[in-house]
Amino acid sequence: MPPEDERPSQNEPSGEQGTRRRKTLARFEMMPGLVEQDPLDPKAFADIVAGHREFIASGGGGGYWETLTSSSERKIGVVFGVYRPAHQGQTDGEQAKLSHKRLDGLDLRKVELPYADLCGASGRTQDLSDANLAGCLATDSDFSGSNFENADLSGADFSRADLAGCNFRNADLSRTDFENADLSGADLRGAKIDATRFPGAELGGVLF
């Protein structure tokens, strides 16, 4: 459990919990409407994962994401990321670009997507157990109710993400950024919490 001085105050759930979360947590209101209506085709997803595997194997990992917005106005601003690689040079394959994709119905167990772009993606109630999402950009995403047990989320950015009711048991959350994320009702028991960031996050009902 993080020290008390590093944890935001926990708000008690209310009868209008969902509505209150949207009012109290910072949100870019355009982002949910940009999620694609149809789920990503499983074959197309498999091709993206294969290309990303080549990208990582050829030295594409280890960089960092710079998050930008089209406007500082939360009613009209759109969030996107620019990847800054650790090493300049040619890489094989292609880095996974899953921003605004709907991931419903895909087999995400043990998926290998470190340093992938998941900004604004939707994957509600999905099973991502044992997944590798280290260093990924998942700001403004919706993975509410999903299972991240034993997943590697180290260094990932989940700022403003909807993670209500998620299972993070025994996950690696080292250096993970949950700024202004909704973690209400999440289970973090056994998770590795080291330099994890929670400023402004909704932590009502979280199990540490």
Residue 185 lies in a domain: yes
Residue whose structure tokens are 């800054």: 84
89 within domain boundaries: no
The full 3-state SS of 33-45, as one line of letters, equals HHCCCCECCHHHH
Helix (H) or strand (E) holding 20: helix 17-24
Count how many domains the chain has.
1
Alpha-carbon distance of 137 to 101, in angstroms, equals 13
User: What's the confidence (pLDDT) of residue 158?
Assistant: 98
The model's pTM: 0.88
Does residue 4 lie within any of the structural domains? no
What is the domain-level CATH number for residue 32? 2.160.20
Domain range for 190? 25-83+94-208
Classify residue 58: in a domain, yes or no: yes
Q: For 146-168, give one letter per residue: b (16+ CB within 10 A) or e.
A: bbbbbbbbbbbbbbbbbbbbbbb
- As a whole number of Å, the CA-based R_g of the chain is 16
pLDDT at position 24, please? 56
Q: Is residue 138 part of a domain?
A: yes
pLDDT for 20 equals 41
- 19 in any annotated domain: no
In this structure, is residue 53 part of a structural domain?
A: yes
- pLDDT tens per residue across all 208 residues of the chain: 443 334 433 333 333 334 344 445 778 999 999 999 999 999 999 999 999 999 999 999 999 999 999 999 999 999 999 999 999 899 999 999 999 999 999 999 999 999 999 999 999 999 999 999 999 999 999 999 999 999 999 999 999 999 999 999 999 999 999 999 999 999 999 999 999 999 999 999 999 9
What is the C-alpha to C-alpha distance for residues 176 and 158, in angstroms, rounded to an integer?
7
Residue 11 lies in a domain: no
**Distant-in-sequence, close-in-space partners of 36: CB < 8 Å, separation ≥ 6:** 100, 101, 102
